[in-house]
Copies of this chain bind each other. A is one copy, B any other.
Amino acid sequence: MSRFWSPIVDTLRPYTPGEQPREGGLIKLNTNENPYGPSPLALEAIRNETGNGLRLYPDPEATELRAAIAASLGLKADHIHAGNGSDEILAQAFLAFFCGKRPVVFPDITYSFYKTYCALYAVEAETVPLDETFRCDPQDYRRPCGGVLIANPNAPTGIALPLEGVEEILRQNPDAVVLVDEAYVDFGAESAAVLVPRYDNLLVVQTFSKSRSLAGLRVGFAIGQPQLIEALRRVKDSFNSYPLDRLALAGAKAAWQDRDWFERTRQRVMVDRDRTAEGLKAQGFDVLPSAANFLFAAHEGFAAERLWKGLREQGILVRHFSQDRIRNRLRISVGTTAECDALLAATGTLLNK
């Protein structure tokens, strides 16, 4: 530790994102990207914005994007907050709602960035074990706390919590913000956005990275009642007034409005997910029921880390986590039909070696 560092720097637990390989030719099933590319209308909107106008600051309020999202949800723009990916919004939400309070509660197996935020803001984390089938029991969240974090569908399990379960957690914690992280919701779970008008403690967070295939553009948003959105705005304007550039604002708005592309591509991902899950099961894998664009699979006869390495050698990247309870599993993003086939062929080969 350098004498120049703030004391907190040494206590940080920086998040390690999945590998972004610089070499080409790999089948990249390790960071849950969408195989189908963004809406052509989004690309066109970005091209139209690529000109001298980039000399000007973007709209710090993301007015048009927020209005577009709000309109399709039957809400107002002051129910929507936009940010540089949903990670930035999670970071803002921790500061806005969880600092200087009781511990925040989240499952033992979930998005690992939550612990990073706890370290960043000196918020105590209280983890609740998922049951032995990796399911979340809403009853476990009936406890005094400073806030609740639920990824729905959960990551890396892919398992969805039904809307009644989310609502149960909301009812049990009327004085704490319940943040529902819906990064993967469009691949088969029910969004809690419909509950926003009825629960002032609900913040739903979504992203353009997965179902809108814009991981490279960095856009996320939150949905909540205006007093929650106002806190996020204050935090944003105390950190960086313009986290969304002009190209991201234009591209995201167009992607949001292209419902047809969104529907077609997410359906294809879901079809290939279910087919790949069946294929893996036929090879002896235990595959959790996924409502996301990835599968979480284990094989009794083959250590996950060995499988991970074997796939890497065949040019297929998947994600392996070292956390105890899940170290025998691999998280496999759903690729194109051909990529899913290549994966099944590769696992088949490895298992038969």
Contacts and interface: CB of A to CB of B under 8 A. Distances in A.
A50 B47 contact: yes
A194 B242 CA distance: 30
B8 A99 contact: yes
Contact of A120 (B5, B231, B238, B247): B238
Contacts of A200: 4
Contacts of A350: none
Contact of A240 (B3, B57, B84): B84
Nearest to A209: B57
One complex includes copies of this chain to the number of 2
A6 interface: yes
Nearest to A203: B4
B4 A97 contact: yes
A84 B84 contact: yes
A5 B96 contact: yes
A48 to B, nearest CB: 10
Interface of A: 2-9, 12-18, 20, 22, 28, 31, 33-38, 42-43, 46-47, 50-60, 63, 84-85, 87-88, 91, 95-101, 116-117, 119-120, 175-177, 200-201, 209, 213-218, 227-228, 230-231, 233-248, 251
